[in-house]
Structure 1
Amino acid sequence: MVSLASTERANGVIASGVGGSLKRKHSDSHLNADDFPSAQIKRRRVTFDPEVDVHILPDVNEKSLELVGEEVRRALERHEEGDNADYDQIRQLLGLKPTSADAPLTSLLQKYVIALTNHAPLLDRKCTSLVHAIIDSSWIARNEQFVRCYRHLLWSLLSVHPGYTSSVLHMLVNMFVDLPSPLLRQQDDPAIDRTRLQARVHECLKYLLRQSAMTSTFLAPILSSTFPFPTDTTKAHVQYIRNILKVSEYCPELRGEVLSLVMDKLVKVDVQIQDDMEELEDDVEDQLVEDGIHKEDDDISDDESASSEESMDEEERRLKQLKESVTKLDSIMDLLFSHYSSIFASGDLFDIDETFESLLSQFASIILPTYRSRHTQFLLFHFSQTSPDLTERFAGACSHLAFDQRRPHIFRVAAAAYLASFIARGAHVSGAIVRDIFDLLCHHLEALRISHEPNCKSPDLRRYSTYYAISQALLYTFCFRWRDLILTPDDITPTDEQLMYADTDFRWHNSVQDILRRNIFSKLNPLKICAPTIVTQFARMAHHLRFLYVFPLLETNKRIKLTRSLGGAGSYMDGVGVRETALTVKRGDEAFLLDAYFPFDPYVLPRSRRWLEGDYVEWKGIPGMERAAREDDDEEDDEDDEADSSSEHGAGNEDDGDFEGPDTEDSA
């Protein structure tokens, strides 16, 4: 019998089934498998199939979508219970810049975006910090699949928590001004250019607007509050306006508000430039305009460095800022001309009608009440002449505003100036429209004369402002469009030869000659109140054309002393309050005269004036009149020297030669 004691065993090993314990003693824990004979080592039960590809996770970026989803769910649930460790980890992960060393790959971050989308209902006000991390994350330059997932996350979030709408819209609109760099991407993202980045912003905004019509109600005030400041660069203004105009294309419910916003900001820049130019000499102003010629919009650079500005004195700095403002205005005008032109050239009658109505509304509410607007109104001037129908509509709108008794007098005066300036300067305004408007103005002038003359004691601008505004409108229009008022047997405008060698008086349209005669020689005496530059030129032209002879009246008017009326109901400033304009701050005799303000003066902005080529009626004197005028001027100069009164006569001779009508001190 073989003794169990003699059986060879490894030290410390107890055979199973012999009465020993299966539990390993503490003294055995130091033993190594190498101490056992290979025959006595227990065979492993787990084997590996060589056909199976075993993949070991190298880092955290290889987490599965299921694992990330579970991680997000637990983090949100624990955050609800007060444990913020996992919650803060996810929030910090979203806040990392793609270029930082510990930033996750876009493929992993996309799984978190998908997981957060699935748990969007849990992202309530208690998760505000995480939501803002989502909104502020660097998403715009990543790959297309990630951007689509992120866009869907935003929509899922807003659909259950609309309180975050303003924050999301602010993030998108801020990119209209400050677009993130295309370099803010991960190594697994393809390269992208800035144009595509901007398109992604609009795609995201358009997607959100399409999902809910209510989103647009949040967007309008954000577009207004984010608009660049007047002191911001030209590039910032052009970029922002270009973007919000694009918004108006895919969000038609905001189109009117967007266009009005741009117009309002543009008018303010325009007016500020006119105020700043008040103290400049003419040659300095001309140089500013010449220096305003710049590169294409995409090449518009930011302002010069601060270091170069530090070396300037105060005057140089002021001129530099003014030059930048002119460039800014010019660039914005060019952008708006381009935007509106694409609509008017499309041929879609509904879009054209809607857009033109918007322009007319902006004219009545923004441009007309702004006395010193100098260039903005040329949008109306140009697009009103794109068709006869639009020409009549703009002329009709100005007429309505000029004769609307419910409006303050100063607005009616301005509307009359716009009407006269439009039909006088508009090259595409037909002769028929000129005659119709001239008839309309004459009719209202005669009606006002009949109403005012019985109680009139002397010429008074403040009491009869609308009457004098219409009078000046007629004088100005006559100076530019007198050819359209002459009647000929064949209804053809007379040639220069016919004008020079005519041996009989001309026949004038309707009874305009008689109406103007009655008014000019009435007690209201409009030639005393209207701007001297316009009165002088009208007198010369009317005399040469044998229309009216008013020189004796002009001599008489020199001896009339104007005094300030007490105003009251119906006065010039009725309904205006203390609003200060160039009409109210003049001193001396000028305070009692009507301004030579005609808003469609020659357009001088160097870049955008290309849109107005062919729109103007250029000044053209009467054949043979210039020589006669020079002879008369020589005689007057001789008399002035003898009488030693050159100052008075010299003021009346400033406009000898070419007459540009409104191109006076008020048209800077």
Structure 2
Amino acid sequence: MVSLASMERATGVIAPAVGGSLKRKQIDSADVDSPLPSSQYKRRRVTFDPSVDVHILPDANEKSLELVVEEVRRALEKHADKLHPDNGPYDEIRSLLLAKPTSAGAPLTSLLYKYIVALSNHVPLLNHECSGMVHAIVDSYWVARNEQYVRSYRHLLSSLLSVHPGYTSSVLTMLVSMLATSPSPAIRQQDDPAVPRPWLESRIHDCLRYLLRQNPMMSTMLGPILTSVFPSSSDTTKAHTQYIGNILKVAGYCPELKGSITSLIMDKLVKIDAQIQVDLEEFEDDIEDLLEDDAADDDDEDSDEDSDSSTETLDPEERRAKEVKESILKLDAVMDLLFSHYDSVFAKGDLFDMDETFESLLSQFASIILPTHRSRHAQFLLFHFSQLSNDFMERYAGCCSHLAFEKGQPRIFQVASSAYLASYIARGAHVSGAVVRDVFDLLCHRLESLRAEQESLCKIPDLSRFGTYYAIAQALIYTFCFRWRDLIVTKDGNPPTDEEVMYHEGDFRWHNDIQDILRRNIFSKLNPLKICAPDIVSQFARMAHHLRFLYVFPLLETNKRIRLARNMGGSYMEGVAARETALSMKMGEQSFLLDAYFPFDPYLLPRSRRWIEQDYVEWKPVPGMEPVQELDDEEDNEDDEDDDNASDSESSSDDTADDDEEEQEEQPEVAESTASDPSI
């Protein structure tokens, strides 16, 4: 080509200044009379080189990959230039990445793919000075695009974290947040195929799995992020089940996080469970009735969206009741999800996986469930899966025994462990008679050992001083009420039938020396029947009498005259009065008794109940023993007759006569209890 510098200038024509207009300048007035030939002037005004191929782009989406690569390189370099920065092209690329696919003017995926490839080629330039571009990449809409784009995006993230690991937290937070709230399949560009929602979640997991394989140390940062993104207790049922289901999948391909993920889920579950028990104390049967009426509604996915609008029209009490019901259904859905997840592990039959999973459940029980006061449903995961084999049953019973009897354990742990152990062997349908007898023996000998140590120190029953002793005693009488058949020794070694119980002559033969041990302890100074829960004591007294095991009704009458609250101070504190709190004064003697808390009492969640129906021992009365209500009616009638007879007799006013009166009052109790038992 001809250089402009060598081009001959026309006489009388002023050369344009730099930055000036390309229009023809005016000719000097002195040279007006000597104009240039018109043909020569026109040729110099517009000239084209025929060897250059000029192509006008009708659409920006048709940019070539080479052009986009060069555009990205220049934009990043100009943005990083501290002397002459130019952010225009840089911001344009950022806006392309952040554009919502359904918005007007959004770039097609085919063009955006070229920018992703170009950015992958210039990853070293994406340092902290270009963090805005990195955040645009992370926040872009990528998961619902075509498969080619998703693979390139995944490769870009991997390259980015390899060169600049400081962005790891941002990338992981983006992926985990999408596990909590998956994007809509409708947010896609017109040149992208429709992608079902399950495929979107699969793409997120594929991306996270790919990054973890490239850098296994990334899991150390992933754990805290999984915890921070976990839905709050006030979030919807759908939010909880979706996130829990997704992070359980993460545990499948990130084994180093499996323990922390399952513990995280259990911790959140137990907190919801415990809060529900606190809330239920305000509503009691009303909430249970509501659950029975609306049990089928918990499968409706739209119920979460409708709950906010419907709650606004309720009064405060109704709103509170609705919130508690939603929490119960949320707990039910999560429990059902966990039952299904663990069942898939045990169903495979892989001994290593089964053993590892059960050990994880035992660890969660000891560290999360047991220390939580009044956990009501979470422990049924162990209740169900421990009954899959004798080995699991023995390991769970051994875990509870170790926590209940080990010295140095907090007393509250020992009391709770005793309750778990007794409730488990009492309610577990697959717990064999041999295991029941072994555990009962263990509890009896531990009770006898504590009695030998503490009876000499006891002047009056005292839960605060001898709490572990009373917890074991209550565990024994509770277990007796459910598994008394397994404690009777028969010739063939099988539990006695109903007919054998009803028509048996004489006393039963009981396993080992459990009868003597319980008798010594029940009638000792420690007097456990005064401290144990009254309902359990009453049921034990009726059953023990009917089965000719023990007769404790006179002791129960004597215990009615013992005032624990009044005598707490004067017994072992040598005259120093015990201070009663406002709560203990309001509750009266109940504050000095054991709670009737047994962790495996009936399971009430409607959906997940199906998992434990075949594992659970329901209460059955002793054959031949009259129902409690009829027995109480007879006692009331006999009490009325005794009162009429007593009114006709003369009474003495001195102390000796009063003592005789008390002895006479005890005799009708013995007579009426004997008369009400058809087997005597």
Counterpart for residue 559 of structure 1: 561
> 3-state SS of the aligned residue for 1:587?
helix
Counterpart for residue 14 of structure 1: none
Equivalences for residues 31-110 of structure 1 within 5 A: 31=39, 57-81=57-81, 82-110=85-113
Q: Work out whether residues 235 and 301 of structure 1, in 8 Å CA contact, stay in contact via their aligned partners in 2.
A: no
How far the C-alpha of 1:644 sits from its partner, in A, is 8.4
> Does 2:430 match 1:428?
yes
Q: Work out whether residues 292 and 326 of structure 1, in 8 Å CA contact, stay in contact via their aligned partners in 2.
A: no
Q: Could you tell me how far apart the structure 2 residues matched to 1:217 and 1:137 are?
A: 25
How far the C-alpha of 1:480 sits from its partner, in A, is 0.3
Q: Work out whether residues 289 and 604 of structure 1, in 8 Å CA contact, stay in contact via their aligned partners in 2.
A: no
Seen in structure 2, the aligned counterparts of structure 1 residues 241 and 30 have a Cα distance that, compared at 3 Å, is farther
Q: Work out whether residues 421 and 477 of structure 1, in 8 Å CA contact, stay in contact via their aligned partners in 2.
A: yes
Counterpart for residue 636 of structure 2: 637
Q: Could you tell me how far apart the structure 2 residues matched to 1:276 and 1:644 are?
A: 44
**What residue identity is the alignment partner of 2:278?**
D
Q: Could you tell me how far apart the structure 1 residues matched to 2:300 and 2:204 are?
A: 19
Q: Work out whether residues 381 and 426 of structure 1, in 8 Å CA contact, stay in contact via their aligned partners in 2.
A: yes
How far the C-alpha of 1:305 sits from its partner, in A, is 5.0
Equivalences for residues 248-287 of structure 1 within 5 A: 248-282=251-285, 284-287=286-289
Equivalences for residues 445-524 of structure 1 within 5 A: 445-524=447-526
Q: Deviations over 1:355-405 (max 9, x none)?
A: 111111111111111112111111111111111110111111001111122
Q: Could you tell me how far apart the structure 1 residues matched to 2:37 and 2:324 are?
A: 89
Counterpart for residue 384 of structure 1: 386
Counterpart for residue 12 of structure 1: none
Counterpart for residue 176 of structure 2: 173
Q: Could you tell me how far apart the structure 1 residues matched to 2:348 and 2:384 are?
A: 16
Seen in structure 2, the aligned counterparts of structure 1 residues 194 and 540 have a Cα distance that, compared at 3 Å, is same
Q: Deviations over 1:620-667 (max 9, x none)?
A: 11111126x56642331124456889xxx9xx9xxx9xxxxxxxxxxx
How far the C-alpha of 1:312 sits from its partner, in A, is 1.1
Q: Could you tell me how far apart the structure 2 residues matched to 1:233 and 1:644 are?
A: 61
> 3-state SS of the aligned residue for 1:487?
coil
Seen in structure 2, the aligned counterparts of structure 1 residues 635 and 184 have a Cα distance that, compared at 3 Å, is closer
Q: Could you tell me how far apart the structure 1 residues matched to 2:388 and 2:257 are?
A: 25
Equivalences for residues 434-445 of structure 1 within 5 A: 434-445=436-447
Of 77-86 and 557-566, deviating more is 557-566
> 3-state SS of the aligned residue for 1:606?
coil
Q: Could you tell me how far apart the structure 1 residues matched to 2:307 and 2:447 are?
A: 57
Counterpart for residue 30 of structure 2: none
Picking from 224, 229, 239, the partner of 2:227 is 224
Of 394-403 and 101-110, deviating more is 101-110
Q: Could you tell me how far apart the structure 2 residues matched to 1:643 and 1:372 are?
A: 43
Q: Deviations over 1:175-216 (max 9, x none)?
A: 122222212222211111111111111111111111111111
Q: Deviations over 1:14-64 (max 9, x none)?
A: xxxxxxx987777558549999xxxxxxxx99599xxx9x97632221111
How far the C-alpha of 1:229 sits from its partner, in A, is 1.2
Q: Deviations over 1:430-482 (max 9, x none)?
A: 00000000000001000000011122111111111000000000000000000
The answer to which structure has the higher helix fraction is 2
> 3-state SS of the aligned residue for 2:207?
helix
Q: Work out whether residues 294 and 300 of structure 1, in 8 Å CA contact, stay in contact via their aligned partners in 2.
A: no
Counterpart for residue 166 of structure 2: 163
Q: Work out whether residues 141 and 185 of structure 1, in 8 Å CA contact, stay in contact via their aligned partners in 2.
A: yes
What runs of 5+ residues in structure 2 fail to find an aligned partner? 1-6, 14-34, 573-580, 645-665, 674-680
Seen in structure 2, the aligned counterparts of structure 1 residues 234 and 469 have a Cα distance that, compared at 3 Å, is same
Seen in structure 2, the aligned counterparts of structure 1 residues 546 and 155 have a Cα distance that, compared at 3 Å, is same
Seen in structure 2, the aligned counterparts of structure 1 residues 305 and 624 have a Cα distance that, compared at 3 Å, is closer
How far the C-alpha of 1:281 sits from its partner, in A, is 4.1
Counterpart for residue 588 of structure 1: 588
How far the C-alpha of 1:294 sits from its partner, in A, is 3.2
Seen in structure 2, the aligned counterparts of structure 1 residues 164 and 154 have a Cα distance that, compared at 3 Å, is same
> 3-state SS of the aligned residue for 1:385?
helix
Q: Work out whether residues 462 and 565 of structure 1, in 8 Å CA contact, stay in contact via their aligned partners in 2.
A: no
What CA RMSD, in Å, does the superposition of the two structures yield over aligned residues? 2.9
Q: Work out whether residues 228 and 236 of structure 1, in 8 Å CA contact, stay in contact via their aligned partners in 2.
A: yes
**What residue identity is the alignment partner of 1:170?**
T
Seen in structure 2, the aligned counterparts of structure 1 residues 45 and 189 have a Cα distance that, compared at 3 Å, is closer
Equivalences for residues 598-637 of structure 1 within 5 A: 598-626=598-626, 632-637=631-636
Picking from 180, 185, 190, the partner of 1:187 is 190
Picking from 139, 148, 153, the partner of 2:151 is 148
Seen in structure 2, the aligned counterparts of structure 1 residues 440 and 231 have a Cα distance that, compared at 3 Å, is same
Counterpart for residue 341 of structure 1: 343
Q: Could you tell me how far apart the structure 2 residues matched to 1:119 and 1:479 are?
A: 75
Counterpart for residue 26 of structure 2: none
Q: Deviations over 1:594-625 (max 9, x none)?
A: 11110101101000001112111111111111
Q: Deviations over 1:282-315 (max 9, x none)?
A: 2x13212214513575846314254432221111
How far the C-alpha of 1:68 sits from its partner, in A, is 1.1
Q: Work out whether residues 242 and 335 of structure 1, in 8 Å CA contact, stay in contact via their aligned partners in 2.
A: yes
Q: Work out whether residues 292 and 323 of structure 1, in 8 Å CA contact, stay in contact via their aligned partners in 2.
A: no
Overall identity of the aligned pairs, in %: 67
**TM-score normalised by the chain length of structure 1:** 0.85
Q: Could you tell me how far apart the structure 2 residues matched to 1:75 and 1:29 are?
A: 47
> 3-state SS of the aligned residue for 1:256?
helix
> 3-state SS of the aligned residue for 1:243?
helix
Q: Could you tell me how far apart the structure 2 residues matched to 1:175 and 1:29 are?
A: 73
Of structures 1 and 2, the one scoring higher in RCO (CA 8 A, sep 6+) is 1
Q: Could you tell me how far apart the structure 2 residues matched to 1:75 and 1:34 are?
A: 39
**What residue identity is the alignment partner of 2:353?**
D
Counterpart for residue 353 of structure 1: 355
Of 585-594 and 429-438, deviating more is 585-594
Seen in structure 2, the aligned counterparts of structure 1 residues 370 and 34 have a Cα distance that, compared at 3 Å, is closer
Counterpart for residue 661 of structure 1: none
Q: Deviations over 1:534-585 (max 9, x none)?
A: 1111111111111111111111111112147579x9xxxxxxxxxx9xx989
**What residue identity is the alignment partner of 1:69?**
V
**What residue identity is the alignment partner of 1:237?**
H
Q: Could you tell me how far apart the structure 2 residues matched to 1:566 and 1:73 are?
A: 85
Q: Could you tell me how far apart the structure 1 residues matched to 2:394 and 2:302 are?
A: 38
Q: Could you tell me how far apart the structure 2 residues matched to 1:254 and 1:423 are?
A: 33
Q: Deviations over 1:60-110 (max 9, x none)?
A: 211111111111111111111122222112111111111222222111111
> Does 2:398 match 1:396?
yes
Counterpart for residue 543 of structure 2: 541
Q: Could you tell me how far apart the structure 2 residues matched to 1:305 and 1:504 are?
A: 63
Picking from 527, 530, 534, the partner of 2:529 is 527
**What residue identity is the alignment partner of 2:192?**
D
**What residue identity is the alignment partner of 2:597?**
Y
Q: Work out whether residues 384 and 390 of structure 1, in 8 Å CA contact, stay in contact via their aligned partners in 2.
A: yes
Q: Could you tell me how far apart the structure 2 residues matched to 1:632 and 1:188 are?
A: 80
Q: Work out whether residues 417 and 597 of structure 1, in 8 Å CA contact, stay in contact via their aligned partners in 2.
A: yes
